Amino acid sequence: MQRIFNYLPEAELEEAQFLNSLLKDKPDEEFRNILYIYRSRRRDPQIILLTTLIGFLGFAGIQRFLINQIGMGVLYFFTMGFCFIGTIVDLINHKSLATEYNRKVAFQVMALFENQ
């Protein structure tokens, strides 16, 4: 697991454990390349939290655009985050939103390397 933290020091324990289980059999060069690409595409839960808080200022849905949920982002924007209820729910669930997105990204990056 230390290998994960060497290349991704900002990762939380749960994320590092997931990546470690996903990459445990990879050679060093492929491991490093996968983590570099993953790191550039992942979303930090703190960024999701901050963009969700911006929703209370009238720009609801930015967090949904960041995690590639464009339809929900547009819906949140035009309904003021479902009258702030959806924004409050996203505020509570910001870590799970980031985790779900990051896991999808990890699987996408792994698929890139499996197709080579």
Q: Is the pLDDT of residue 103 over 80?
A: yes
Cα–Cα dist 92/105, whole Å: 22
Cα–Cα dist 51/107, whole Å: 25
The reported pLDDT for the residue numbered 1 is 85
Instruction: Give, as one character, the DSSP assignment of residue 26.
Output: S
In this structure, what are the phi and psi dihedrals at residue 41, rounded to the nearest 5 degrees?
A: -105, -15
Place of tokens 């200022």: 57
Confidence of residue 110 (pLDDT cuts 50, 70, 90): very high
Tens-digit pLDDT profile for residues 36-79: 999 999 999 999 999 999 999 989 999 999 999 999 999 999 99
Q: How far is CA 7 from CA 12, 20, 66, in A?
A: 13, 12, 23
The reported pLDDT for the residue numbered 93 is 97
Cα–Cα dist 66/79, whole Å: 18
Averaged pLDDT for residues 88-115: 95
Residue-range definition of the domain harbouring residue 11: 2-114
Q: How many domains does the chain have?
A: 1
